[in-house]
Amino acid sequence: MNVLVTGGAGYIGSVCAEQLLMRKYRVIVYDNLSAGHRAAVPKGAQFVRGDVADAQSLARTFRRFKIDAVMHFAANILVEESVRDPAVFYRNNVAASLTLLEVMKEHGILNLVFSSSAAVYGEAQTIPIPEDHPKAPINPYGETKLVVERAAEWYHRAYGLKCVCLRYFNAAGATRRLGEDHQPETHLLPRILDAALDTGRDFILYGDDYPTPDGTCVRDFVHVADIALAHVMALKKLPKVGFAVYNVGLGRGYSLREVVKAVQEVTRRPMNVTVGPRRAGDPARLVASPEKICRELGWQPRYSDLRYIVRSAWNWKRKHPHGYGSRHDC
Ligand SMILES: NC(=O)c1ccc[n+]([C@@H]2O[C@H](COP(=O)([O-])OP(=O)(O)OC[C@H]3O[C@@H](n4cnc5c(N)ncnc54)[C@H](O)[C@@H]3O)[C@@H](O)[C@H]2O)c1
């Protein structure tokens, strides 16, 4: 099976491409390198530098590689930026995704696994959050993910698209070769690890006045390899599923202070933690109910113990203190 992985030079897409290759799928990574790294594309994958918004380039790639299924990771991901500049997010996350759907339809490619997000829920009314929880995004990033989920569902009804939307909670951790390298880095774990690596640097916690036990946000961390595993399982189930949405989380939340503590225990490095103001668009608690994905796809996380997540990310960070190097490396 030939799988096109949009955003496969990015953090989660590259790990997913790696797992697909391990399972003998043919992988074509399609990425414009706006945020990804050529060096993150796993050996064995074909690489096409292209933009999801470019219908002609997509069409050429579909024909050239006889694509059977698409995993769509490519997106802008910075929540705070989405609040400041929603236009960019509507263009790249919504308009480009609609282009992808149209070109897939024209080429009869009706298999899609879509990277959605817990951000579609907004402030949680119940914890853990089931998939049928009200969807009320509190930032444009979450809104753009919801729009694409809904478009995919209508494509399913009208054109027979088979689609699984995976709503990840917090992806974290690294494999032996691949890790997290966003510019700028806004994700918690790599930021704490940067502070641990460079002991002079402060680590800023954004807000400690949330309505949570220690005042810091609570998040559900999933190892990136377990997220990739969910994709492989979703791809296999596509023919039977039709259209489905699954949370990808553990059902166990950690406060950001607990994560800092785990980092201190794993790295044994002194660290200067300070508290800054809240960030725009951050809900207090996001914890998944993973019951549906476990029951229907048989997903069982293997690597998502917090200490293992931290250790894997720390090992990668020590080997790659400056990430993959320059932005457009290789
Ligand atoms: N990281 C998380 O914790 C998390 C949580 C929930 C959902 N997600 C979703 O998972 C997906 C991957 O996230 P990530 O952390 O790996 O992000 P990332 O920034 O590391 O990867 C995104 C990749 O997409 C590429 N890209 C962006 N726009 C493109 C376009 N128009 N055409 C081609 N390539 C394009 C970038 O160059 C980059 O390589 C995103 O859709 C994100 O919304 C991530």
Which CATH number belongs to the domain containing residue 312 in this structure? 3.90.25.10
Clarify whether residues 35 and 148 are in a common domain. Answer: yes
CA dihedral 43, 104, 139, 283 (to 10 degrees): -60
Q: Which of 11, 25, 30, 141 is catalytic?
A: 141
Per-residue confidence (pLDDT) for residue 162, from 0 to 100: 98
Please name the helix (run of DSSP H) or strand (run of DSSP E) that holds residue 309, with its range, or none.
helix 306-319
Q: What's 39's DSSP letter?
A: G
pLDDT in tens, 48-105: 999 999 999 999 999 999 999 999 999 999 988 999 999 999 999 999 999 999 999 9
- Rounded distance, CA 302 to CA 226, Å? 7
Ligand 1 geometric centre to CA of 19 (Å): 17
Long-range pairs for 207-213: beta carbons < 8 A, 24 or more residues apart: 207/275, 207/276, 207/277, 207/278, 207/279, 207/282, 208/257, 208/275, 209/278, 210/278, 210/284, 210/285, 211/284, 212/255, 212/284, 212/285, 213/255
Q: Of the candidates 186, 158, 172, which has an alpha carbon nearest to the alpha carbon of residue 316?
A: 172
Residue 299 lies in a domain: no
Q: Judge if the beta carbon of residue 173 lies within 6 A of ligand 1.
A: no
Ligand 1 geometric centre to CA of 36 (Å): 8
Q: State the closest ligand 1 atom to the C-alpha of 181, by its place in the atom list counted from 1.
A: 20
Per-residue confidence (pLDDT) for residue 245, from 0 to 100: 98
The CATH number linked to 83 is 3.40.50.720
Residue 23 lies in a domain: yes
Clarify whether residues 107 and 212 are in a common domain. Answer: no
Clarify whether residues 157 and 147 are in a common domain. Answer: yes
Residue 99 lies in a domain: yes
Per-residue confidence (pLDDT) for residue 249, from 0 to 100: 97
Per-residue confidence (pLDDT) for residue 183, from 0 to 100: 87
Clarify whether residues 11 and 141 are in a common domain. Answer: yes
Q: Going by CA atoms, what residue is nearest to atom 2 of ligand 1?
A: 171
- Concerning whether 121 is annotated as a catalytic residue, the answer is no
Q: Contact, 99 vs 149, CB < 8 A?
A: no
- Rounded distance, CA 188 to CA 238, Å? 33
Clarify whether residues 214 and 194 are in a common domain. Answer: yes
- Rounded distance, CA 116 to CA 114, Å? 6
Per-residue confidence (pLDDT) for residue 329, from 0 to 100: 43
The C-alpha angle 147, 173, 248, rounded to 5 degrees, equals 35
Clarify whether residues 166 and 261 are in a common domain. Answer: no
Clarify whether residues 235 and 269 are in a common domain. Answer: no
Per-residue confidence (pLDDT) for residue 327, from 0 to 100: 42
Residue 294 lies in a domain: no
Q: Going by CA atoms, what residue is nearest to atom 29 of ligand 1?
A: 74
Clarify whether residues 126 and 195 are in a common domain. Answer: no
Clarify whether residues 165 and 264 are in a common domain. Answer: no
| Residue linked to tokens 């996350």 | 93
Q: What residues in the chain have per-residue pLDDT under 50?
A: 326-330
Per-residue confidence (pLDDT) for residue 234, from 0 to 100: 98
Which tokens hold the place of 272? Answer: 């200067």
Clarify whether residues 14 and 144 are in a common domain. Answer: yes
Q: Going by CA atoms, what residue is nearest to atom 23 of ligand 1?
A: 7
Q: Of the candidates 281, 169, 279, which has an alpha carbon nearest to the alpha carbon of residue 221?
A: 169
Residue 136 lies in a domain: yes
CA dihedral 173, 176, 177, 178 (to 10 degrees): -10
Q: Which domain holds residue 313?
A: 188-219+252-286+305-325
Residue 266 lies in a domain: yes
Number of domains in the chain: 2
Clarify whether residues 226 and 104 are in a common domain. Answer: yes
Which tokens hold the place of 157? Answer: 């009804």
Per-residue confidence (pLDDT) for residue 199, from 0 to 100: 66
Q: Judge if the beta carbon of residue 49 lies within 6 A of ligand 1.
A: no
Residue 292 lies in a domain: no
Residue 118 lies in a domain: yes
Q: Contact, 171 vs 288, CB < 8 A?
A: no
Q: Judge if the beta carbon of residue 221 lies within 6 A of ligand 1.
A: no
- Rounded distance, CA 309 to CA 169, Å? 14
Clarify whether residues 116 and 65 are in a common domain. Answer: yes
Please name the helix (run of DSSP H) or strand (run of DSSP E) that holds residue 72, with its range, or none.
strand 69-72
Q: State the closest ligand 1 atom to the C-alpha of 74, by its place in the atom list counted from 1.
A: 24
